[in-house]
Amino acid sequence: MQDSKCSTCDLEQKGECSDNTQCVLEKLPENDNSRIKNVIAVMSGKGGVGKSSVTSLLACGFNQKGYKVGVLDADITGPSVPKMFGLRGMAESNGVAVFPSMSSTGVKVMSLNLLMPNEDDFVIWRGPVISGAVKQFWTDVAWGCLDYLFVDLPPGTGDVPLTVMQSLPLGGIIVVSSPQDLAAMIVKKAIKMALHMNVPILGLIENMTGAVCPHCGREFPLFGTGKGKEMCEKFGIPFLGSMPLDPQLSTLSDQGRIEQYQSDLFMERIPWILTRQQF
């Protein structure tokens, strides 16, 4: 077996990666302060389709079902999870480990915004530094015992999704799409990346399928129907459900009260489906 360089990760591989389709890098070890049973990443490829909202709602749903849940906000330069949960201020540290902040219902969150004095402070970091921060959210954060850790990936198929897929013991990814062709085209890239990296796709959630009228509460379609299901059929992945544009969701998110959003899809159906999947 010859050592080779993997075109995907640019690191030396020991033979097993001869076709460059499957990296065999060591997964990062858990630290002494974390026992995490299932790690699920949420990916969309395209920004603005509701990936962070879906990640947060998944966490709320599993938390409400009695599971111990955390959210690792890997969207380092566009972190929105703390705001959705109403978390402000700096996360605590004992000098060795950093402790995730806890939402009002008990969801643990770690995000770069919880390590910055002000929520609108920014970082100008290149890809490897950003990836390093994501790795530290795994190695240096005292997550405690978790049943599920949801990882909110940034848009695109770049450094961070690659790092997460290679370095964390992912059980699988959930893909978020929206019905516009433009979004679907980019989301397909994310699906293909996951397939290329041999990461199981647990399912697809289609967001913004229609709109909920703020006056009568009824839902009407906006961009046509069935596109999410078509994509699932094309790639052979489970369709987990769809969510309309709902002013209530964006209002609660803006107010840091996403945990109060009522959704049968996230509180019942998706936890039911995913807890029965073997991954």
Distances (CA, A) of 117 to 47, 81, 104, 142: 25, 16, 21, 20
Tell me the window of 27-35, 101-109, 184-192, 238-246 that interacts with ligand ADP (CB under 6 A): 238-246
Among 114, 191, 249, 274, binds ligand ADP (CB under 6 A): 249
CA distance 4 to 12: 6
Pairing verdict, β 172-177 and 201-212: parallel
Among 71, 208, 237, 240, binds ligand ADP (CB under 6 A): 208
Among 80, 103, 131, 157, binds ligand ADP (CB under 6 A): 80
Q: Does 224 bind ligand ADP (CB under 6 A)?
A: no
Residue-wise burial string across 102-120, b where 16 or more C-beta atoms lie within 10 A, e elsewhere: ebeeebbbbbbbbbeeeee
Tell me the window of 63-71, 127-135, 192-200, 249-257 that interacts with ligand ADP (CB under 6 A): 249-257
Among 73, 206, 246, 259, binds ligand ADP (CB under 6 A): 246
Which residues neighbour 55 within 8 Å (Cβ) at sequence distance 6 or greater?
42, 71, 81, 150, 151, 152
Q: Tell me the one-letter amino acid at 154.
A: P
Among 8, 34, 38, 52, binds ligand ADP (CB under 6 A): 52
Residue with structure tokens 């062709």? Answer: 181
Size of the site for ligand ADP (CB under 6 A): 17
CA distance 69 to 42: 14
Which CB atom, from 13 or from 63, has the smaller least distance to ligand ADP? 63
Q: Is the dihedral of CA 78, 83, 85, 90 positive or negative?
A: positive
Supply the minimum distance, in Å, between the C-beta of residue 43 and ligand ADP. 10
Q: Does 180 bind ligand ADP (CB under 6 A)?
A: no
Q: Does 49 bind ligand ADP (CB under 6 A)?
A: yes
Which CB atom, from 166 or from 207, has the smaller least distance to ligand ADP? 207
Among 38, 167, 207, 242, binds ligand ADP (CB under 6 A): 207
Q: Where do the H-state alpha helices sit in 159-246?
A: 159-167, 181-196, 227-235
Which CB atom, from 31 or from 250, has the smaller least distance to ligand ADP? 250
Interface ranges with ligand ADP (CB under 6 A): 44, 47-53, 80, 207-208, 243, 245-246, 249-250, 253
